[in-house]
Structure 1
Amino acid sequence: MCGNNMSAQLPAIVPAARKATAAIFFFFDLNERLHGWVETLSYIRTPHIKYICPHAQIRPVTINMNMAMPSWFDITCLSPEAEEDATGIKLAAETIKSLIDQEVKNGIPSHRIILGGFSQGGALALYTALTTQQKLGGVVALSCWLPLRNTFPQVAANSANKDIHVLQCHGEADPLVPLLFGSLTHEKLKSIINPANVSFKTYPDMMHSSCLKEMMDVKQFIEKQLPPID
């Protein structure tokens, strides 16, 4: 696979029911197993879109007592002031950009590709979209935050996605990635891309997980940003 921080495992794919004219990359949280989210994506899928779920490399994660687990980058602690793994975040983003390039070579233009993810995966989706020269179709950012937020808007000034549409979703009862992280991210996003294109939806009683209402909101966003073209 492309990049040094990918595992040798091939991505899990939910294929389009007919000819794929759009794609979604969906990135999981650290130490997550693919099965649950692949099943969820299958439930909300649209016939002309294929869903690609790459595997993160197994690495020690500081916040989890240095245990080795699938992770896109290291996390030291969950705090707005925490020191971040800048090298790991940037390397993961470059890996995703390479995967997008591969999909473009396969015939799906980048503006017909959405990046999405949950928690650490959502953080990676946001960072990648705001630092790439690939014009993308949107971002779905679930229960997450914007990594390396202090380097924006300087980095984003060179991005091809200043007008990208972003759907942010967050549980109001999230004990792991507090709603405050989502709120701060929303305010930051509105300062660096077109604020009219950033939607932030919250869900009462939802913890660090998902719910049917959130998935229906995600489905509606995807269908609006990636309509059928044939």
Structure 2
Amino acid sequence: MRGDGMLELADSFYDEHPNLKWILPHAPILPITINRGKNGNARWYDRITLDPELILDPEYHDEEGLHSIVQTIDEIIQAEVDSGIPEKKILVGGISQGGSVALLLGLTTERKLGGLIGLSTWIPFGRNVEMIMTRQAKEIPIFLAHGKEDPLVVYSIAESSLSLLTKSGFQQLDSTITFVRPGILFKGYSPLTHWFGDEEIDDLSEWVGEVLKD
């Protein structure tokens, strides 16, 4: 998607976090397999399937495209670090495909990032997640949220992604706890579909505040 598609989310954070800097890159226009190879809207990498039984299977992911875009995002992070921003003050996140890119970057990085945010998303190469993650990854707090009525990336995919992470050693926080480092805060929302909602934004804003204060 285009980065300016996330301006609504960024604007909603201004009152609580006026000094938060947002970097909203545009995804490229790519031929998409599930669109019979036609160029679709901006997508971070080729979409081979959204089948809930297959989306976490490593062979149904555009490995080359994923690693290429992760490298691009890491270069953006490096530019911020070079400008004087500590890694622990940098959060990486996204929605849908953008969320999967953010999670893959966080699971494979050696950086001491402040946190990862995945909205309406999944874990790329899910069933191989334990093989690809770094030791540092388990120190990064994660906010995962998903609409329970999402028709595109169904809620069970989020639950499966969470299960893969907890089986790999991540700690899921109790729903009454906003933030612990390290730990995953997982939230489901109804009647939310494939986007973000007001309650989700409030929860994320509170979590972000705790990350930056930590």
TM over 0.5: yes
CA RMSD of aligned residues (A): 1.6
**How far is the alpha carbon of 1:56 from its aligned partner?**
1.3
- Corresponding residue number in structure 2 for 1:210: 196
Unaligned segments of structure 2, at least 5 residues: 173-182
Decide whether the 8 Å contact of 2:3 with 2:25 is kept in 1: no
Q: Percent identity?
A: 32
Q: 4+ residue runs of structure 1 moved beyond 4 angstroms?
A: none
SS for the counterpart of 1:152 is helix
Higher strand share: 1
* Structure with a larger share of its residues in helix: 2
Aligned ranges for residues 40-119 of structure 1 at < 5 Å? Answer: 40-45=9-14, 46-68=17-39, 69-79=41-51, 80-82=53-55, 83-119=60-96
Q: Give the match's secondary structure for 2:71.
A: helix
User: What is the alpha-carbon distance in structure 1 between the residues aligned to residue 152 and residue 8 of structure 2?
Assistant: 23
Report if the CA contact (8 A) 2:3-2:27 is conserved: no
Residue matched to 1:11 = none
Q: Distance in 1 between matches of 2:93 and 2:213?
A: 17
Taking structure 2 as the reference length, the TM-score comes to: 0.86
Q: Indicate conservation of the 8 Å contact 1:173/1:207, yes or no.
A: yes
Separation in 2, partners of 1:217, 1:193: 24
**Equivalence for 1:181:** 157
3-state SS, counterpart of residue 195 of structure 1: coil
- Is 1:144 matched with 2:121? yes
Q: 5+ unaligned residues in a row in structure 1: which ranges?
A: 1-31
